[in-house]
Structure 1
Amino acid sequence: MVPGSFRGVAFDLDGTLLRSDHSVSPEMRSLCSALTGRGLLLTLISSRPPRSVEQIADSLELQGPWAALNGAVVFSSGRRILDRSPLPEATVEQILARYGRDERVSLNLYAGFDWIVQAADRRVRAEADIVGFAPTVDAGFASRPVTEKLLMITDEGHCDNARLAKELAALDDGIAVARSKDNYIEMTRSRIDKGRALAFIAERRGLSAREMVAVGDGENDIPMLKACGLPIAMGHSPQALKQVAELVVGSNDDSSLTDALSRIFGAAAAR
C-alpha cells in the first residue's frame, strides 16, 4: 500500500464508519478532516435513507456526492438528487399485497427523502432510533409515491430470513435483493447497487472507482468492494464479503480502520 496511490474513500455507515452506538470516533473524525483537507474524496454509500446520510455527512463536513438506499438515490448538498432509480411499480404492488399484512415483518417504503410505513411498530421505532428521524405513517400506503427501495425488517434471529430473501428475489428479475443485516432485507432495482453508486460518484469528481478505497461490512457492500481499487472488510463481515477484500480490519468499535486508512494515505490520526 503506497501512500498517494488512491484519491479517496467510500464508507459504508452501520458497522463500518459508525461505532455500535452509531457515532463516529474522535480519531476517525480527525482523520476524515485531514484527508478532506488534502483534497481527497470522502463519500458515504449506505443503505440508510438520504436524510440520515445527509446528517452524518454534514457532521463530518463532507462535500459529497453521497449515496443512500443502497445506491438507488445519489445526491449532493442542498438535497439535490443527481440520480435515482425507482423500483418497478408492479413489483412494489405485488410485495405490498403479499407481505403488507404479515405481522412477522415490517415493511418500509423509501421515496426520495421520504420514509413511509404502515405503522410505527417496535421494529420501525428501533430503526428510527438508529437513523435519527421518524417515518411518515400511512396506513395501507394509500398515498404511495414512486419508490426507490423497500426494506423488510424481521425479528433478529428469525430462522427464515435467508429463505425469505430468496423468495423475494424470485418474484421479479427486475429487482436486486440484499441483506445489510441478518434481519434487514432490502429491495432495489436490478443492477442498482453500491458499486454503481461508487462509479457514479467518482466520475462526478473526475475519478474512477479504481482510484477509491472502499470499506464495508455487509452483503450489500460486495458490489462496492468489487468496483473499487482497494477493498477493505470489517472483521465481523460475512465470509462472502471477506473473500472480495484485500484487507480485513477489526471492529467498528476499535481503531483498526482508522489506523489502516492512516497507513494507506500516509496520514496520522489524532489520539
Structure 2
Amino acid sequence: MGESPRLVATDLDGTLVRQDRSLSPRTAGVLARIAARGTVVVLVTGRPVRWLSQVYDQLHEPLPAVCANGAVVYDPDADRILRADPLAPELLAEVTRRLRAEVPGAVFAVEVADGRELRHDAEWPTLWDAGDPTIRVLSTPEEVASVPAVKLLVRAGKRDPDTFVRIVAAAIEGLAEATHSSYSGLVEISAAGVTKAAGLAWFCEQRGIAPAEVVAFGDMPNDVPMLTWAGNAVAVANAHPAVREIANDVTLSNDEDGVAAYLEKLFDLDS
C-alpha cells in the first residue's frame, strides 16, 4: 500500500487486547491519533455488543464495531445497531437438530437481542459471566431456537478446536457458517454468508471505502475472511497458523502492542 489506508480494522481478543484483557495506553493513544487524522478505525470482533464496554472504558473514545463475527454493526455514539444478520428460529432449530445428532453431549448458547443478552443450556459453562443479569438458562432445550440469534455457540466437552470446527461445519454445511476464535473447544455459528468480512464490507460500502484502502489485523480463524478481503492483512506474532498463512505481513504479538507498533510505522507516528 503506497498511501496510508483510509480505514483500520482490528480484531480485539488476541490481537489488540492483551492476554490479561487490558488495552495498553500506547495502543489507545495510537488509535486516537489515527482517528483524529481522519482515518476510520473500526473494531471487528467475535464479541457481542454487551462485552464492548470493557474495551471502550480503556479507549480515548468509543469506536464503531462489527460484532458477533460480522452479524452486528454497532454505533457506540448513538448506542444503535446499524445492521443485524441473525439466524432465524427455523434455521436454529435445524442446525441444533443436526448437531445434537452428530455431536453427542453438545450444549448450546445463543446471543439474542442483537447480542445484548445470552441464553444457554443448563449444562453450559458460564465462566466469568455467572450472575450477569443479561444471561439466563434456557427453560427447555427447544427454547434455543425460539427467537432470532446473532450467534449460536456450541461446546461438547474438551475438544481440539480445529478438529471440532470441521465436524460442526460438515454437519451444518449449506445452512450456516462455523468458525472459532479460541483454543477452548468453543465453535461459533452464524447465518450463511455472515462473516467478519461481510460485516466489514457493508460498513465500508456505506462510506465509499474499497478493500484496497483497508488494513486489517487478526489472530484466529474467524479473522481469515476479513484478512482475505482487506487490501493489507496483518497477523500478530501469536496468530493461529491459518492466519499467518494468508497474511501479507506479521507484526509483534498482542502482549507486545503489535498493532500499535505496526500502525506507528505505517502512519509515520512517533512511538
- Taking structure 2 as the reference length, the TM-score comes to 0.85
What is the alpha-carbon root mean square deviation over aligned residues? 2.7
Structure 1 residue aligned with 2:165:
165
Residues of 2 paired with 1:73 and 1:180: CA distance? 17
Residues of 2 paired with 1:211 and 1:43: CA distance? 13
Map 1:193-212; keep pairs closer than 5 Å: 193-212=195-214
Residues of 1 paired with 2:205 and 2:60: CA distance? 21
After superposition, the C-alpha distances for 1:20-51 in whole angstroms (9 at most, x for unaligned) are 01110111011112111112111111111111
Number of residue pairs aligned between Structure 1 and Structure 2: 262
**Which stretch of structure 1 is more off in the superposition, 55-64 or 8-17?**
55-64
Structure 2 residue aligned with 1:50:
49
Residues of 2 paired with 1:240 and 1:172: CA distance? 20
Could you tell me the percent identity over the aligned residues?
Answer: 27
- Indicate conservation of the 8 Å contact 2:234/2:248, yes or no: yes
Residues of 2 paired with 1:64 and 1:257: CA distance? 16
Runs of at least 4 residues of structure 1 off by over 6 A? 100-103
Shift of 1:208: 2.1
- Indicate conservation of the 8 Å contact 2:16/2:257, yes or no: no
Structure 1 residue 267 corresponds to structure 2 residue 266: no
Secondary structure class of the residue paired with 2:269:
coil
Map 1:136-151; keep pairs closer than 5 Å: 136-140=136-140, 142=143, 144-151=146-153
Q: 1:205 is aligned with what amino acid?
A: R
Residues of 1 paired with 2:27 and 2:7: CA distance? 15
Structure 2 residue aligned with 1:32:
31
Q: 1:145 is aligned with what amino acid?
A: V
- Indicate conservation of the 8 Å contact 2:251/2:261, yes or no: no
Secondary structure class of the residue paired with 1:27:
helix
**Which stretch of structure 1 is more off in the superposition, 245-254 or 63-72?**
63-72
Residues of 2 paired with 1:163 and 1:31: CA distance? 37
Structure 2 residue aligned with 1:180:
181
After superposition, the C-alpha distances for 1:33-83 in whole angstroms (9 at most, x for unaligned) are 211111211111111111113542464244543111100111212331111
Q: 2:265 is aligned with what amino acid?
A: R
Residues of 2 paired with 1:51 and 1:245: CA distance? 30
Residues of 2 paired with 1:67 and 1:258: CA distance? 20
Structure 2 residue aligned with 1:257:
259
Shift of 1:134: 5.6
CA gap of 1:62–1:191, structure 2 versus 1, over 3 A, is farther
Structure 1 residue 107 corresponds to structure 2 residue 103: no
Shift of 1:225: 0.6
CA gap of 1:61–1:203, structure 2 versus 1, over 3 A, is farther
Residues of 1 paired with 2:60 and 2:79: CA distance? 15
Unaligned runs of 5+ in 2: none
After superposition, the C-alpha distances for 1:93-121 in whole angstroms (9 at most, x for unaligned) are 13444667988554220121221112375
**Which stretch of structure 1 is more off in the superposition, 51-60 or 190-199?**
51-60
Residues of 2 paired with 1:33 and 1:230: CA distance? 21
- Indicate conservation of the 8 Å contact 2:43/2:65, yes or no: yes
- Indicate conservation of the 8 Å contact 1:42/1:62, yes or no: no
Shift of 1:186: 0.8
- Taking structure 1 as the reference length, the TM-score comes to 0.85
Shift of 1:198: 1.4
Shift of 1:252: 0.9
Q: 2:70 is aligned with what amino acid?
A: G
Residues of 2 paired with 1:227 and 1:234: CA distance? 17
